[in-house]
Each structure stands twice: as structure tokens, then as C-alpha cells.
Amino acid sequence: MSETTENLSKSASVIEVERKFTITEDSERKLQEVGASCLQQKSFEDSYYDTDTYELTLKDHWLRQREGQWELKSPPEQRDTESKTAQYAESIATDEILQKLTAILKTNSTASDHYGENPDQLADFVKKHNLKAFAVFKTNRRSYRLDGGFQVDLDETDFGYRVGEIELVVGHDGDVAAALQKIDRLAEKLGFSSTTRIAGKMDAYLQKYSSSHYAKLLAAEVLHAK
């Protein structure tokens, strides 16, 4: 979740439009040449949860806990499936996450399952429905900001994978197409564009540590090979 996302209202989803790129020795120099300013450098740990049969991820829903904060990434109502740029609606409000999880898992809510803003409810839901962490890894991140609302993250994981990401956050599905064009133009300007898909951290993690889960996601066309 970017700093921009954290500053938006927690009562509604936002849409993250992200394009991956391969980090090279010149990446930071190129960012500095176009006037990018370094926001911060930080480290964090992500834990991703699902059922034993991967009911969430096979529907492209990614439940994550990052440093105590629960987040859910899910497909937006409109998505450009031909683009190499990822597009996800991100929910950080407890009630919204629980409603989406309930719909996916087809669970029956009861009076005791009243949805509020207590994050402990998510931990209780995860335990009650036997969701388990299928991926846990740490990331060292350097974040840059550019005019126009762009954030560029340079990530290195504790399992040895490095990847960069250009991100714009928008509030409505109707803004996605314009965001895709802006990101593509910036990628070209920085020399970060690619004719093939760049694997994200999760793709790389599953290929390395859970090939069967990765194969199922490829078969379901949730993830895509290069």
C-alpha cells in the first residue's frame, strides 16, 4: 500500500494502477534525472492468507496483513485485461473487507458477525474460517515521488527478488484508462517499459516456494506467464 493510499479515506476502496519493471543499476539515476524525490526507505513484512483450497486467490482476491494492517486487493469493476499494468481495488476498511470475504467464501453471517471497524474482527474471521498464511516475506523498499501523483517503489525481498513498480492511485473505475496511459508514458520516458510481463513479488515467491499453487493460478488465468 502506497503512502498515497494511506492518505485516502478508509471508508471506501481505491484503485491501484501499477506497472512493474526490472531494477537495474541505472534505475535510481534515471528517477533522479526526471526530478523524482526520495520519500523514504523502509522495511516491512507481508503475510498473505487463504483457505487450503485457495478459494480467495483463485478468484484474484489477496488478503494481506502488513505490519498489523489488514488489506484486501481485488479486481475492480472494470479492468483492462490486455494491459501489462496491474489494476486492483484495495480495501483497508474492516467492514468492507469482511463483506467481500463473506461473499467469496459464501459464509453465513450471524448477529455476532456484525461488521464494524475493529481490526480484531478480521483476525477472528481468519481464525474462524481456518485461513492460513501461504506466503510470508520481508521487503526493503525505497520510494520515490514524481509530479502528477506518481509513486515509484524499488523493492528487494528477503528471498532475493528485486522489482520496481510505478503506481498511480485513482478513486473511480472511470479514471483507470487515463492512469494506464500516464504510467505507460512515464515508463517509456524512464526506459522502464518492457514487451513482456514483469513478475511481481508474489509471482516470484510462489514459483520458488509453492509451484502447485502457482500452477493453479496460471490455469485460472489469475497470474500470467511472461
Q: pLDDT of 47-84, one tens digit each?
A: 999 999 999 999 999 999 999 899 999 998 877 666 76
pTM: 0.87
Number of domains observed in the structure of the chain:
1
Domain region containing 146 = 3-219
Q: Say if 41 falls within a structural domain.
A: yes
- Residue 104: how many other CB atoms lie within 10 Å: 17
Dihedrals φ, ψ of 200, to 5°? -80, 180
pLDDT digits over 119-133, tens only?
Answer: 689 999 999 999 999
Q: Say if 135 falls within a structural domain.
A: yes
Q: Own/partner pairs for 173-176, CB < 8 Å, 24+ apart?
A: 173/15, 173/76, 173/77, 173/78, 174/78, 175/15, 176/15, 176/17, 176/76, 176/78, 176/79, 176/80, 176/87
Q: What percentage of residues in the chain have a pLDDT greater than 70?
A: 86
Q: Say if 196 falls within a structural domain.
A: yes
Residue 8: per-residue pLDDT: 41
CATH number for the domain spanning 103: value is: 2.40.320.10
Q: Say if 225 falls within a structural domain.
A: no
Residue 6: per-residue pLDDT: 45
CA–centroid distance for 85 within its chain: 12
Q: Say if 130 falls within a structural domain.
A: yes
Which parts of the chain have pLDDT scores under 70?
Answer: 1-12, 80-82, 84, 108-119, 226
DSSP bridge partners of 19: 166
Q: Say if 226 falls within a structural domain.
A: no
Q: Say if 224 falls within a structural domain.
A: no
Q: Say if 184 falls within a structural domain.
A: yes
